[in-house]
């Protein structure tokens, strides 16, 4: 388990700093423990150093490998327009619910890249992935949330074969989301959202 790196991608701006930094660092440490990597003690310091002279909002990506090496890169971050609704398509590529590495954010992204490549960027803003049991799992870069009218969002359980997203964790802890298995029929009957820590919740429509 050493031919990949762990990843954390987050938003930074001069007013708030790093959004959900505590949750990102906690997930990084938990992922390192589960994969046998060293404890990423210098991660917070490396992140702060990377934005020391920054002024405009940034998308910041940290990688951490089995030898304890940390790399931080950044790029300008442009928020989506407030009225954005993502077009989502269904992937033919499936996730394997027995693959526990899917629960950890790593540079092993072939399965997601294959799914994303099924559609041109103009045809889909995101691609929805199912597992071998036809259960809804996640997008290629987002967690899935469903408003079924109950007043609390539903999001699939990790056991379906998906990443423990930081935004997902926050919403569950705030009791704004609950874990529940989701099928395509549920998606058709409710209101779909895709989301991650970088961009927050994004209203979405699953297209045929």
pLDDT one-digit tens code per residue, 28-55:
999 999 999 999 999 999 999 999 999 9
**Range(s) within the chain of domains with CATH label 3.30.470.10:** 6-76
- Reported as a single tens digit per residue, the pLDDT across 133-180 is 999 999 999 999 999 999 999 999 999 999 999 999 999 999 999 999
Q: Calculate the CA 144 to chain-centre distance.
A: 9
**86-206 adopts what CATH topology?**
D-amino Acid Aminotransferase; Chain A, domain 2 (3.20.10)
What are the CA-CA distances from residue 183 to residues 98, 163, 188, 189 (Å)?
Answer: 18, 18, 9, 10
**What are the beta bridge partners of residue 195?**
143, 201
- Those residues with Cβ within 8 angstroms of residue 174's Cβ, 6 or more apart along the chain or in another chain: none
All CATH 3.20.10.10 domain ranges in the chain, comma separated: 86-206
pLDDT band at residue 1 under the 50/70/90 scheme = low
Architecture of domain 6-76: 2-Layer Sandwich (3.30)
């Amino acid at each position: 388990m050493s031919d990949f790196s762990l990843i954390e991608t987050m938003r930074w701006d001069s007013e708030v700093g790093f959004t959900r930094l505590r949750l990102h660092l906690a997930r990084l440490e938990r992922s390192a423990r589960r994969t046998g990597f060293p404890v990423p003690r210098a991660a917070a310091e490396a992140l702060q150093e990377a934005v020391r002279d920054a002024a405009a909002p940034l998308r910041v990506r940290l990688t951490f490998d089995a030898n304890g090496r940390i790399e931080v890169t950044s790029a300008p971050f442009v928020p989506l327009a407030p009225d954005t609704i993502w077009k989502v398509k269904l992937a033919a590529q499936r996730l394997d619910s027995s693959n526990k590495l899917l629960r950890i954010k790593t540079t092993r992204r072939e399965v997601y890249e294959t799914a994303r490549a099924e559609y041109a960027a103009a045809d889909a803003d995101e691609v929805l992935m199912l597992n071998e049991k036809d259960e809804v799992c996640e997008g290629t870069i987002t967690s899935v949330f469903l408003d079924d009218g109950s007043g609390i969002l539903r999001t699939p359980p990790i056991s379906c074969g998906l990443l423990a997203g930081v935004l997902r964790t926050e919403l569950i802890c705030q009791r704004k989301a609950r874990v529940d298995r989701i099928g395509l029929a549920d998606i058709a009957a409710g209101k779909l959202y895709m989301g991650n820590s970088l961009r927050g919740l994004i209203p979405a429509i699953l297209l045929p």
